[in-house]
């Protein structure tokens, strides 16, 4: 084929390929085929020297024209494809700003934790520190060091969850087993006195476990806030003043508070504290079993025997202790008829707080 026809062919075919190229990559392959180092047009330009002298200017001129035409076609197609690719990318990443937003559900603190925090805040605001104690406890801290006799009913299998004996064997036989789930937070008193020197002003919130069947007023797992004060010259008057202050802060200044004599092995004298019923304001109703009062906590002056177990000199120091049921306080605060509502996880109930 004459070189001039060859050039015509290259031009026609290349322009067709350029306009049908669907991507920048494809377009670049077309360019390399024609204008690359071994491209068809490059080959012709390289072989110009072997042409007859009269052919040279004609073929040379035509070859340059073809090159320019192809180059500008490549450039135009390049721009068009680039734009199309950008459009496609924008389209693929487009946000539909008319879509309604996705609602994020924000969690919140459980009611029990909220109340626990409020209770701790009342005590920290008058100088107490907050401590933590183990939920898996030994018989010694839960009972013995708290002056609880060997034959006390609370130590029985019917009341206490025993975990395993000290050799790690599962055991349900009392006597062989002295690792247990604490039945009260009072053991934290002993840990604290073992580790700190008086003056001690502390509260310790946490879970406790008892072998109770859940009913409106009992849960097999619940929370207590233990309190302990050890200092020189502490009296029952300090205990009364502190707990009256706490009850008014948490339940409101209009609630009445009364102290009833009671017995606990680890305090002497001991008392239970009642608050006037928030539903009937002391008139008597179903909520307070028609007494006008609701029991909220146990308290007393630390028994000197507990001081001895814990390494505190009972000649030098006196102190008081108290234990408050946190679920009880929550129930009183919100007049809840059934403690089980606190642990059932029903969001229709929990979302109200």
Rounded distance between C-alpha atoms, residue 197 and residue 42, angstroms: 97
Which CB atom, from 7 or from 297, has the smaller least distance to ligand DAH? 297
Tokens 């502490």: give the residue.
234
Where residue 40 falls (left for φ over 0; alpha for ψ -120 to 50; beta otherwise) is alpha
Which CB atom, from 141 or from 264, has the smaller least distance to ligand DAH? 264
Which CB atom, from 14 or from 223, has the smaller least distance to ligand DAH? 223
Which CB atom, from 177 or from 186, has the smaller least distance to ligand DAH? 186
Which CB atom, from 14 or from 185, has the smaller least distance to ligand DAH? 185
| Residue 97 token pair | 């700003």
The answer to whether 271 and 299 are in contact (CB under 8 A) is yes
First to last CA, the chain: 93
Rounded distance between C-alpha atoms, residue 50 and residue 46, angstroms: 9
Q: Where are the beta strands (DSSP E) in 143-292?
A: 179-181, 200-209, 221-231, 257-264, 267-276
The angle at the Cα of 232, spanning 230 to 235, to the nearest 5 degrees, equals: 75
Which CB atom, from 284 or from 304, has the smaller least distance to ligand DAH? 304
Minimum CB distance to ligand DAH, residue 173 (Å):
25
**CB neighbour list of residue 200: distance below 8 Å, 6 or more residues apart:** 192, 193, 228, 229, 230, 231, 319
Farthest-apart Cα atoms in the chain, separation: 132
Which CB atom, from 14 or from 224, has the smaller least distance to ligand DAH? 224
The answer to whether 228 and 189 are in contact (CB under 8 A) is yes
Minimum CB distance to ligand DAH, residue 96 (Å):
59
Which CB atom, from 206 or from 298, has the smaller least distance to ligand DAH? 298
Q: In the beta sheet, which residues pair with residue 257? A: 275
Distance of CA 3 to the CA centre of its chain: 81
Minimum CB distance to ligand DAH, residue 204 (Å):
10
DSSP-H helix ranges across the chain: 3-20, 24-35, 40-46, 55-92, 111-124, 139-142, 187-195, 236-251, 304-310, 326-334, 347-350
Minimum CB distance to ligand DAH, residue 325 (Å):
8
Minimum CB distance to ligand DAH, residue 270 (Å):
6
Minimum CB distance to ligand DAH, residue 105 (Å):
37
| Residue 156 token pair | 């029985």
DSSP annotation of 76 reads H
Which CB atom, from 62 or from 258, has the smaller least distance to ligand DAH? 258
Minimum CB distance to ligand DAH, residue 208 (Å):
7
Minimum CB distance to ligand DAH, residue 128 (Å):
14
Minimum CB distance to ligand DAH, residue 300 (Å):
4
Minimum CB distance to ligand DAH, residue 298 (Å):
3
Residues that bind ligand DAH (CB under 6 A): 184, 186, 226, 264, 267, 270, 298-300, 321-323
DSSP annotation of 94 reads -
Which CB atom, from 184 or from 223, has the smaller least distance to ligand DAH? 184
């Amino acid at each position: 084929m004459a070189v001039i026809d060859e050039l015509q062919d290259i031009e026609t075919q290349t322009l067709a390929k350029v306009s049908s190229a669907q991507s920048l990559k494809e377009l670049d392959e077309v360019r390399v085929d024609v204008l690359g180092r071994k491209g068809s047009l490059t080959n012709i330009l390289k072989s110009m020297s072997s042409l007859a002298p009269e052919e040279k200017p004609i073929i040379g001129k035509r070859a340059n024209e073809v090159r320019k035409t192809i180059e500008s076609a490549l450039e135009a197609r390049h721009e068009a494809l680039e734009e199309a690719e950008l459009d496609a990318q924008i389209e693929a990443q487009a946000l539909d700003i008319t879509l309604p937003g996705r609602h994020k559900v924000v969690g919140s603190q459980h009611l029990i934790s909220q109340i626990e925090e409020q209770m701790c805040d009342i005590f920290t605001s008058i100088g107490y520190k907050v401590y933590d104690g183990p939920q898996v406890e030994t018989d010694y801290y839960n009972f013995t060091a708290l002056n609880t006799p060997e034959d006390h009913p609370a130590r029985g299998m019917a009341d206490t969850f025993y975990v395993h004996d000290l050799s790690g064997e599962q055991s349900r036989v009392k006597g062989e087993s002295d690792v247990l789930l604490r039945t009260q937070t009072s053991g934290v008193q002993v840990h604290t006195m073992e580790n700190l020197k008086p003056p001690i002003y502390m509260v310790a919130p946490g879970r406790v476990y008892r072998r109770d069947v859940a009913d409106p007023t009992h849960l097999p797992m619940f929370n207590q806030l233990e309190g302990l004060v050890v200092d020189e010259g502490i009296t029952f008057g300090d205990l009364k003043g502190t707990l009256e202050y706490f009850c008014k802060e948490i339940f409101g200044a209009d609630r009445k508070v009364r102290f009833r004599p009671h017995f606990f092995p680890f305090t002497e004298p001991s008392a239970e504290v009642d608050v006037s019923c928030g539903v009937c304001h002391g008139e008597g109703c179903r909520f307070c079993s028609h007494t006008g009062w609701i029991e909220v906590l146990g308290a007393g002056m630390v028994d000197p025997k507990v001081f001895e177990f814990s390494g505190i000199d009972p000649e030098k120091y006196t102190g008081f202790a108290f234990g408050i049921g946190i679920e009880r306080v929550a129930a009183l605060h919100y007049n809840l008829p059934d403690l089980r509502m606190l642990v059932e996880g029903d969001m229709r109930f929990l979302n109200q707080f």
